Each structure stands twice: as structure tokens, then as C-alpha cells.
Structure 1
């Protein structure tokens, strides 16, 4: 297995059509799950940087930008 940076687009699911069919509670649940997944992904990235001896707080916006939706 090749190690490398996991981008949001690698793990995201296109949910646009289904989104319209969800009620308010379902949308809230979906949003919360996505935010939790995003936070976990960022945490894994930070741990990875620390293991490599890098300082994650010094990483430029280009890395964080790759993790954001729409990039």
C-alpha cells in the first residue's frame, strides 16, 4: 500500500441529489458525521507530520486547502 496524503476529494461522496430528499434532522446528522470525519482526517494528518519530525503548525495553507471540500 502506498503512503501519501489523503485528500478530501479522495474520500468524499457526491451527495447533492440525495441531499434534497433529506429532512432537517437527517441533514444535521449528515453534517455532523462529515465534520467528525474531517476532524479525524486532520488529526491523522497532524499525527503523521509529528511522526515525520515536522511541525504541523508551520504547514502552509496549501496542505490544509487540499483537505477542504471543493479543492
Structure 2
């Protein structure tokens, strides 16, 4: 399923969404984004890249193995 949505670029992007179907069964869906501008895989914000991230400088996400958001 594809959706076009408005997002607040000042907040980190969501990685998952929780849905409830008509039988009240909870479903967790992974969100995959397409065509993002400069995106930071450390903090999840749009507007800067991994190289310019302040959290990277502080030691979070200093290598690719502990990135909160993965490139796919």
C-alpha cells in the first residue's frame, strides 16, 4: 500500500505504525519512505545528512551498525 501524507519535518520520521483492524486485532506495519531529501539515518530528521548530524558528533550512530534508521 502506498500513501501520500504530510509530515512535520521538525520531528523524526516514524519507523513503524500501529493499526487496529475491524476485529480489534493489532497490526504493526513497517514504514518505508521514498524520495526523501537530505535525511539523517542517525536521528531520523530531514534537512541534514549523516555527516552533519550533531548526535553523530556526540557518539550516537558513530558507525553504521548502530544506526537507528537504516538505509534501504
When the two structures are superposed, what TM-score results if normalisation uses the length of structure 1? Answer: 0.27
Higher helix proportion (structure 1 or 2): 1
User: Greater RCO between the two (CA within 8 Å, min separation 6)?
Assistant: 1
Higher strand proportion (structure 1 or 2): 2
When the two structures are superposed, what TM-score results if normalisation uses the length of structure 2? Answer: 0.27
